[in-house]
Amino acid sequence: MAVSLDKLVSLCKRRGFIFPGSEIYGGLANSWDYGPLGVQLKRNIEQAWWERFVGRRADMVGIDPAILMNPNVWVASGHVANFNDAQIDCKKCKHRFRADHLIQEKSPETPVEGKSLKELDTFLQELKIACPHCGTRDFTPSRIFNLLFKTNLGVLEEGQSAVYLRGELAQGMFVNFRTIYEAMRLRLPFGIAASGKVFRNEITPGNFTFRTLEFDLQEFEYFVPPADWSKWFEYWLAEMQTWTRELGLDQQKLRVREHEKDELSHYSKRTVDIEYETPMGWKELFGLAYRTDFDLKNHAEKSGKELRYVDQLTNEKFFPHVIEPTFGLTRTVLICLLNAYHEVEGGRTTTTESAKELEVVLRLPYWMAPVQVAVLPLSRKEPLMEGARKITEALGKKYRAQYDDTGSIGRRYRRQDEIGTPFCITFDFESLNDQKVTIRDRDTMKQDRVAMDQVATCLQERFSG
């Protein structure tokens, strides 16, 4: 059954994945905090990405660039001039919207990308679009709004100067290009990768964490000889698609969409999005852009510094071209949760207490699950609790293991199913006699009796199988 976003939001709060930020003060629009399970899930994906695309590749290096950079970086990159949205306000209720979002909601086929403010206003008129909040049709004309978050540097007010919080990671890779390739003695083709927070002052329609003001991003700039760009574009598209399979995403819900000419970002000659079919429709998950030599050339020109690559064999100096695969980590977490969320009407178990209940199973890949194995004493009695604690401690050396003795065994199974725990191990009275425990599989609910000293081997087989 397809999941509604509301149900996922509720599960995420109930189980400690993600909840509204600073909620006791009424929250802050589109800010979200990650709880114990959410942060673990996010880290699991982040680390797997880093290992796969950086750690295990000889042609890739990673960096951790600063969030605050010299403001000239953002002038040279074109973000100060071009990183804009078209905003409108409802004159009656004062709510603010993105003009293109309202148009697309009413008429998904209307092309909004790259349109002028005037053209957007005409669409709003022609499509008779009303304010989603109060229903009136009285908007201010569209105006440009820059997405870069501004803040001030300096202790004294009079000495302060404006700086920007980074709006993408890419610029950290470009401005450090020469330092990195010289220090690491890199030869084309090679990539520089980063993972971290970025900030965009966006108006968002409130689709949970889909579009937020601050979000985690993972991206790399892959530098290639100019003539080879197309070959590497195809290569990275295939790699990104393989990553979607490793994330366990339903391939029927994924598609590749080519950007139209007037939709391209100011730095791109070709872009494709990998989109996922969400409850809000088809939405961008990852992007792949051919950034040409736009950034290196502009930074060289504006900084006056030499940023060309020197070919060691021919001594030729040139600006490499760039292929940029970009992966929104915040969005990956959301899509993985949506993809994993399954509901079973009436429940899967036959115990009387759960027979009529709706059950939720989060079918996350084993490597991604925040808790990989839960150890449950059948009842809150010693020595069952002690036995279960000992197993938790032993398994905790290798897996993310959780001990849980609260509530009936059926409820505990369902709680673990809801958070995506692949295996539960139950320590019962019989365990004291036969030195065996039960291993229960999240997806099949099959239960196997296994000798305690075989549990680690048995789990290893299941995790690697």
Q: Under the rule (CB under 6 A), what is the footprint of ligand GAP? A: 168, 170, 200, 202, 211-212, 215, 217, 219, 284-287, 324, 326, 328, 330-331
Whole-number Å distance between alpha carbons of 348 and 350? 7
Of the pair 228, 263, the CB lying nearest ligand GAP is at 263
Identity of the residue numbered 271 = T
Of the pair 46, 324, the CB lying nearest ligand GAP is at 324
DSSP classification of residue 260:
P
Residue whose C-alpha is closest to residue 145's, from 74, 94, 71, 88: 88
Of the pair 90, 217, the CB lying nearest ligand GAP is at 217
Of the pair 84, 454, the CB lying nearest ligand GAP is at 84
Helices (H), ranges, 77-169: 79-82, 99-106, 117-126
Residue 1: in which H helix or E strand, if any? none
Of the pair 220, 413, the CB lying nearest ligand GAP is at 220
CB of 116 to ligand GAP, least distance (A): 21
Angstrom CA distances, 244 to 49, 249, 255, 420, stand at 11, 6, 11, 19
CB of 4 to ligand GAP, least distance (A): 20
Of the pair 41, 384, the CB lying nearest ligand GAP is at 41
Q: Per-residue DSSP letters for 51-101?
A: IIIIIT-TTEEE----SB--HHHHHHTTHHHH-EEEEEEBTTT--EEEHHH
Of the pair 103, 213, the CB lying nearest ligand GAP is at 213
Structure tokens at 263: 């939709």
Structure tokens at 379: 């009842």
Backbone φ and ψ for 365, nearest 5 degrees, come out as: -55, 150
Query: From the DSSP assignment, how many helices (H) and strands (E) are in the chain?
Result: 15, 23
Q: What is the dihedral of CA 332, 337, 338, 339, to 10 degrees?
A: 80
**Strand-strand pairing, 309-310 and 447-451:** unpaired
Give CA angle at 62 (60, 64), nearest 5°: 165
Of the pair 287, 420, the CB lying nearest ligand GAP is at 287
Cis upstream peptide for 383 (omega within 30°):
yes
CB of 42 to ligand GAP, least distance (A): 12
Of the pair 180, 264, the CB lying nearest ligand GAP is at 264
Residue 303: count of CB within 10 angstroms of its CB: 14
Structure tokens at 325: 């695969």
Structure tokens at 122: 């005409």
Whole-number Å distance between alpha carbons of 148 and 201? 6
Q: For ligand GAP, which residue has the nearest CB?
A: 328
Bridge partner list, 433? none
**Strand-strand pairing, 84-89 and 60-62:** unpaired
Of the pair 31, 110, the CB lying nearest ligand GAP is at 31
Structure tokens at 339: 């993809």
Where are the extended beta strands (E) located within 394-458? 401-403, 423-427, 436-441, 447-451
Of the pair 202, 263, the CB lying nearest ligand GAP is at 202
Q: What is the dihedral of CA 55, 58, 64, 69, to 10 degrees?
A: -160
